Every structure is written in C-alpha cells, then in structure tokens.
Amino acid sequence: MKRIRSYELLEPLGPQGKYCRTYLARNHDLPSVPYCVVKQLHQPPFPKIQELFAREAKVLDRLGQHSHIPRLIASFSEGNSDGDYFYLVQEY
C-alpha cells in the first residue's frame, strides 16, 4: 500500500471526492504503530478550499482535548509528480 511520510495508507474510508480522500492508516512514527485517519486534499484550483482546510486543522488542534473529537496528530503539505497535496492526520 502507499505511504505518505510515516503513514501507511491501508484503505479508503467512505466515498472519495474529486479533491479530498480519507484513508485508514497506520502511524509508523510510534512504536505501537497505531491506526489513524489521513485526510488528503489535492490542491484544487480554488484558494478558498485551501483556506478552509487550513482552518479545519487549526480548529482540530484547539479542540483535540475533547473526548468526543479525534486528536489532530499532524498537518502538512507535500508535492509529488501528481501535484501538491495537503494532509490532516487524526486519531482513529
């Protein structure tokens, strides 16, 4: 399966959109290799979507201590031959 940094993408979760995909993954940064969720946003031609994605990361970071909201593990961007991508990684 595909890897993004230290996250091994196992399978898609739910329906996949044109610009955003969500995956069940394993976090190989930690010794227990826990499950996590990776949300991948392909850089769309709409700057507003990028802004909303960045805002979501900030809100998740603030709210991550609530027992009913998955904790934000990482937020980063990365480019490859397919283009630029933005990622949110959360607890599973």
Per DSSP bridges, beta strands 20-27 and 3-4 are unpaired
| Reported pTM | 0.84
Place of tokens 């991948």: 40
Residue 87's CB: how many other CB atoms inside 10 A? 19
Mean residue pLDDT of the chain comes to 88
Residues with Cβ within 8 Å of 90's Cβ and at least 6 positions away in sequence, in order, are: 36, 37, 39, 60, 70, 71, 72, 73
Answer yes or no: is pLDDT of 62 > 90. no
Whole-number pLDDT of residue 44:
65
For residue 88, give the nearest of 49, 54, 48, 52 by alpha carbon: 54
